[in-house]
Amino acid sequence: MANLYKGSEPVPADAVVLFNGKDLSNWHKRGSDDPAGWTVADGYFEVKPGTGDICTKETFGSFQLHVEFWLPLMADCQGQARANSGVYIQGRYEVQVLDSYGLDSKDDDCGGLYKLAAPLLNAGRPPENWQTYDIYFIAPKYNEHGVKTKNARLSVLLNGVWIHHNLNLPQPTPGNMDDNCGEPGPVLLQDHGNLIRFRNVWARPIG
C-alpha cells in the first residue's frame, strides 16, 4: 500500500501498517464483521460518534504499537466528557485518550490505565496538537493447563516521554472486549462520542 501518512514518525520497514492514510480496510466494527464506520479525511481518520468502537482485523500477542492522535478543544466540558477515547491493547487493556493537559494525572486521565495505574507524569500536549503513543506490550504467559504464570506487562511513551515502564497488568481494564487473555487480540479504538482523530498507526510483533 502507498504510504500517505503525514505523521511525525517514519514507518519502520518491518511494521504492520494498520492505516494506509486513505481507508479503514484493515478495521471492522467491534463485535461484528461490519466495516468500520469512522470518517477518513486528509490522511487521518476520525471517530464518527454513535457508530461504535473499531478493531483491527489483525490480532497480536506481544507487540509494539505506534499511534498518533489529535484531541478537539472542548472548553465547555469537564473530566471524562473532554475529548475522550481509548486505545485498547489486544482489545483488553485500555490506555486512556483524554484532554487532561496540565492536570495532576489520575488513572482515568490521558495515558492512564483505567482502575490500574496513573501515568508517571503528565506528558500531554494541549488539544488541537498531534500527540504520539508508543506502546510496548508483553502478553501474559499461560502453561499447558491454561493457568497464567506471568501477568501482561506494558511500557508507554507519550510524546517521547516514559509514562509507564514495565507496568504489571494483573487483569484487563473495564470496557474490555473479552477476558481471553491467553489469546492474541486486536487493537481497539473507542468511540466515546467525541471527534478524536488518529493517524500513522502501525505495529511490530515482539518475539
Assess whether pLDDT exceeds 70 at residue 80.
yes
| CB atoms near residue 31 (< 10 Å) | 10
Q: What's the pTM value of the predicted model, to 2 decimals?
A: 0.94
Assess whether pLDDT exceeds 80 at residue 200.
yes
pLDDT band per the 50, 70, 90 thresholds, residue 1: very low
**In the chain, what percentage of residues exceed pLDDT 90?**
91
pLDDT digits (tens, 9 = 90+) for 143-190: 999 999 999 999 999 999 999 999 999 999 999 999 999 999 999 999
Assess whether pLDDT exceeds 90 at residue 9.
no
Domain extent, residue 195, equals 16-56+71-205
d(CA 148, CA 161): 31
In a domain? residue 61? no
Cell numbers at residue 163, please? 509514562
Assess whether pLDDT exceeds 70 at residue 27.
yes
Query: Mean of the pLDDT values across residues 121-126?
Result: 97
In a domain? residue 166? yes
In a domain? residue 175? yes
d(CA 80, CA 174): 15
Assess whether pLDDT exceeds 90 at residue 92.
yes
Please count the structural domains in the chain. Answer: 1
Residue 207's pLDDT is: 77
In a domain? residue 132? yes
In a domain? residue 9? no
Residue 10's pLDDT is: 81
Query: Mean of the pLDDT values across residues 66-92?
Result: 96
Residue 40's pLDDT is: 98
In a domain? residue 44? yes
In a domain? residue 5? no
Cell numbers at residue 191, please? 468511540
Comparing C-alpha atoms, which of 204, 174, 24 is closest to residue 88? 174
Q: Which CATH number goes with the domain that contains 164?
A: 2.60.120.560
In a domain? residue 6? no
